[in-house]
Chain A
């Protein structure tokens, strides 16, 4: 059974519809990478998939059960979410943030126990931040904060991981660590949906690619089955060259087309 499925999903903010009729399926142990230009509706889609943004049309089901039939806490126990950024107004400690992922498992009164702390410790170790548990989050760099958010999602031991541009602030080494972590998670049966701007990073881990353009699906399928260079070139309005990579999937190199770029659509 699919870990996550969405049927004809549409939604947006205020009067503006940002996503128009997207259907997808993510099986256990599979990674779906969502690509597309700024404002294509990728983050909005992710918010609807986790139920933070109620869709205007369509349904989302988690393990076959409609999201509307699950409490937020049940969803949080099963789905780990790595947002693009979090407003860290208060200098919470790194460990406190990672332990937040245990809250849906503990309920409103039980404090985190030894096992929760162990899971937080292991997650921080995975993202290369062990020993930093007692540091205030506000003292960490953008990339380190992103790794803390990834560790938080991992500490919840979710069956499904939703990541919104998790590599945006990561250096090269930690981008590769991210690929390793996600590959390991897939191996353990975790389904993954990852919004990414780096096509090549996405191709290292994705089993399926969803390319969005102006809120709709431009392409959806296995990377090998799709003419990726042509589709990405058309959607992003660039020319794309495929370069062979003996150590992995071909590398897609973008180049600007001659002529003025189309108007930037507002990022959401």
Chain B
């Protein structure tokens, strides 16, 4: 059963990538894409396919994988199925700092934006945890409420920054708020990889502890988990995943909520088994979301966060109604 599911999710991702490559718009037809992929095509088509569409797809995959893994890790760490980088304000914290950096930094130092976004995401994570903590660990309700507070503060900061921003920097700063893969370039994809790969290794190493955390902090500590150590590693890994995603693609909500939840229904609760599958499913969701964002109301391109919210909000409401 799970082997079919493994094949199924890979097939969906491959399908999403092909659809995105072939059906992204009039700039390159299906025939053009085929000829570029077989080594032909004119210079313009080659640029459209290899320098625009392909990096965009790869960036969407990396961001989707990052957000889905961050969601899976946070849900296990906090024993809270509603934990999501977007809802907890982690993406918001990253976005506020990324926006500030984008507006303030000289062009030569814009390469620092991802590191700073990671710092913002880490700060927001720490703040949410601090606000939600209790004598026996963070309470799920307080965690969501703390997320609302951090999100509100981040939104206020972003709006203030946008109103103060110089007009030249405004479009780039707005893209962080709206969530988009439009600016994808091969260099960005490469720059994002460490923000995906290093945290993935950290999370895989913490898999056993995360499984034990799913039954609460007191129980996990009694089973040998060094709580503060695991918390620190997983929070930092999640912050790096979200910070990288936000810096290169802006705020995209609900991927970290929907994907781990659906994946658990199919593959169960073994966190280490879940991570690679969640990454593939997250990648597929964002690639499809991006395709929809580009093709639903042409020639206008919607923010991809709108598409994930259209799917994610009803999903969140359904989960809220099911929660005790």
Contacts and interface: CB of A to CB of B under 8 A. Distances in A.
Nearest to A136: B269
Question: Max chain A CB contacts within 10 Å: which of B81, B225, B264?
Answer: B225
Contacts of A90: 79, 81, 214, 264, 269
B215 A97 contact: yes
A50 B227 CA distance: 14
B208 A87 contact: no
A83 interface: yes
A83 B224 contact: no
Contacts of B140: 89
A75 interface: yes
A83 B81 contact: no
A147 interface: no
Interface residues of B, number: 26
B2 interface: no
A109 B207 CA distance: 9
A97 to B, nearest CB: 7
A4 to B, nearest CB: 14
Contacts of B211: 100, 103
Contact of B215 (A13, A100, A104, A108): A100
Nearest to A52: B221
Contact of A50 (B81, B208, B216, B222): B222
Given A87-B216, A89-B80, A72 B135 contact: no
Contacts of A83: 216, 218-219, 222
B269 A100 contact: no
Interface in A46-98: 47, 50-52, 71-77, 79, 81, 83, 86-93, 96-97
B141 to A, nearest CB: 12
A92 B219 CA distance: 14
A252 interface: no
Contacts of A52: 218, 221-222
Nearest to B229: A72
B221 A103 contact: no
Question: Max chain A CB contacts within 10 Å: which of B80, B205, B221, B222?
Answer: B222
Contacts of A75: 224
Nearest to A51: B221
Given A71-B224, A100-B211, 16 more contacts: A13-B135, A52-B221, A72-B221, A77-B224, A81-B219, A81-B222, A86-B216, A86-B218, A87-B79, A87-B215, A89-B79, A89-B140, A90-B264, A96-B269, A100-B223, A103-B211
Q: Nearest 6 A-B pairs (CB), nearest first?
A: A76-B224, A81-B222, A104-B224, A73-B224, A13-B135, A52-B221
